[in-house]
Amino acid sequence: MEFKRVVITGMGALTPLGNSVDEYWNGLINGVSGAAPITQFDASKFRTRFACEVKNFEPTDFLDKKEARKIDRYSQLALVASDQAFADAGLNKENINPDRVGVVLGSGIGGLITFQNEVMDFAKGDGTPRFNPFFIPKMILDIAAGQVSIRHNLRGPNYAVTSACASSTNAMIDAINLLRLGKADIIVTGGSEAVISEAGVGGFNAMKAMSERNDEPATASRPYDKDRDGFVMGEAAGILIFEELEHAKARGAKIYCEVVGGGASADAHHITAPHPQGLGAKNVMLAALSDAGMQVTDIDYINTHGTSTPLGDIAETKAILDVFGEHSYKLNISSTKSMTGHCLGAAGVIEAIACIKSVMHDIVPPTINHFTDDPELDPKLNFTFNKAQHRVVNAALSNTFGFGGHNACVIVKKYT
């Protein structure tokens, strides 16, 4: 069977660097940090008191006030990003068959803020069960995909994917395969996450996973730096329009690039720590290259998982060296989490958008906040430290890895 080709025709994003794709991209290439003291709750008693929040977002600017109250923040972000992507792709009821347009989104945690607030309100009461009737439909992981399909009247395949921080990348892989197999004409894909809350920050603090540089939040996310001390929590939503090539051409769509493959693997090692030799990361990159029918020399840029954790950054670079060999030294590597923080289940899609823009504009966004070389990392690797670099980027690979040992990556390349 000959697979159909899949292209990207629309993008939308709300990120800690800006509430549109252009604002996000400009922040990336200019090396802007999205980290700042937390505003969504009083974090004064927490070990970590800063995060990469989506800023200047008022849901009622986009959603009816009554409806907005029925939707958790993670779904609100997804809905607004979906509006942006639909407009960007030029989609409307005249040029699509709604029965052939699906929605596959990812989230690592879903409506944690709603869950936390409902339980806290109950605990403060007299034990009488008084819960918001929208508690469950606000909180569940699949509801963002459902809300997007309702908002845009899309009746094709519709579901959610969860694999911790690899969630939106796994969602994109499913979208690729649905289109390749002719199950739909268009899949709205990506993901969202919004868990900057007492439970979210407190939970990750208890794991000792996050940076505690409260006096210098803008420089706290330091992938590949010797003094990195953990990730910075972020929140975001990114939505992409994946479209079967002939369908896109028939409606005269602009085509940003082609998405040519994806891979998935498991570490089978530990619930939170990466395989020390990067075995799962190695396998997932090999799987993506095989799926795309590409050689290691075809890749120009890798947007790494690069969370700024002591173990994770080392394991991933070991995997890159194992997979790419001598070509590793011709690659540009960067972690945009140095600017956005770690947006958990939404990380994959916003990093895929960074790859798409890199392929479009031949610019590699930097890994900011590099101050001290780590002697455990190969100094010949080009981590694109501190400043964006111009180079031809014909193809880019995006890595995402999640708790539980979940690994996923996608490859995009110039459309010809």
**Among residues 152, 247, 275, 305, which one is catalytic?**
305
Q: Tens of pLDDT along 251-289?
A: 999 999 999 999 999 999 999 898 988 999 999 999 999
What average pLDDT does the structure give for the chain?
97
Active site annotation includes 305:
yes
Q: How far, in Å, CA of 158 to CA of 106, rounded?
A: 11
DSSP 379-404: TTSB--BSS-EE---SEEEEEEEETT
* Radius of gyration in angstroms for the set of CA atoms belonging to the chain, rounded to a whole number: 20
Q: Do domains 7-257 and 261-413 have the same CATH topology?
A: yes
pTM (2 d.p.):
0.97
Q: Calculate the CA 51 to chain-centre distance.
A: 16
Q: 47-72 in b/e burial notation, b at 16+ Cβ within 10 A?
A: ebbbbbbbeebebeeebeeeebeebb
pLDDT of residue 93: 85
User: Between vectors from CA 291 to CA 7 and to CA 354, what angle results, nearest 5°?
Assistant: 50
The superfamily CATH assigns to domain 261-413 is Thiolase/Chalcone synthase (3.40.47.10)
336 phi and psi angles, rounded to 5 deg: -75, -5
From the list 342, 355, 406, 409, the catalytic residue is 342
Locate the domains of the chain by residue range: 7-257, 261-413
* pLDDT band (50, 70, 90) for residue 216: very high
Mean pLDDT of 327-335: 98
Q: Tell me the DSSP string of 92-108.
A: -TTT--GGGEEEEEE-S
- Cα separation of 35 and 94, whole Å? 42
Percentage of the chain beyond pLDDT 90 is 97
CA nearest to 364, candidates 350, 394, 384: 384
pLDDT tens string 10-42: 999 999 999 999 999 999 999 999 999 999 999
Question: CA–CA separation, 325 vs 245, rounded Å?
Answer: 33
Angle at 30 between CA 26 and CA 34, to 5 degrees: 80
pLDDT digits (tens, 9 = 90+) for 52-111: 999 999 999 999 999 999 999 999 999 999 999 999 999 998 899 999 999 999 999 999
Whole-angstrom CA distances from 385 to 211, 329, 338, 367, 368 are 20, 14, 10, 5, 6
On the question of pLDDT at 1 being above 80, the answer is no
Closest CA to 404 of 267, 306, 286, 203: 267
3-state secondary structure of 56: coil
Class of domain 7-257: alpha beta
Q: Average pLDDT for residues 343-370, to the nearest whole number?
A: 98
Selected catalytic residue, list 52, 152, 165, 247: 165
Residues facing residue 13 across a β-bridge: 238
Map 300-323 to HEC letters.
Answer: CEEECCCCCCHHHHHHHHHHHHHH
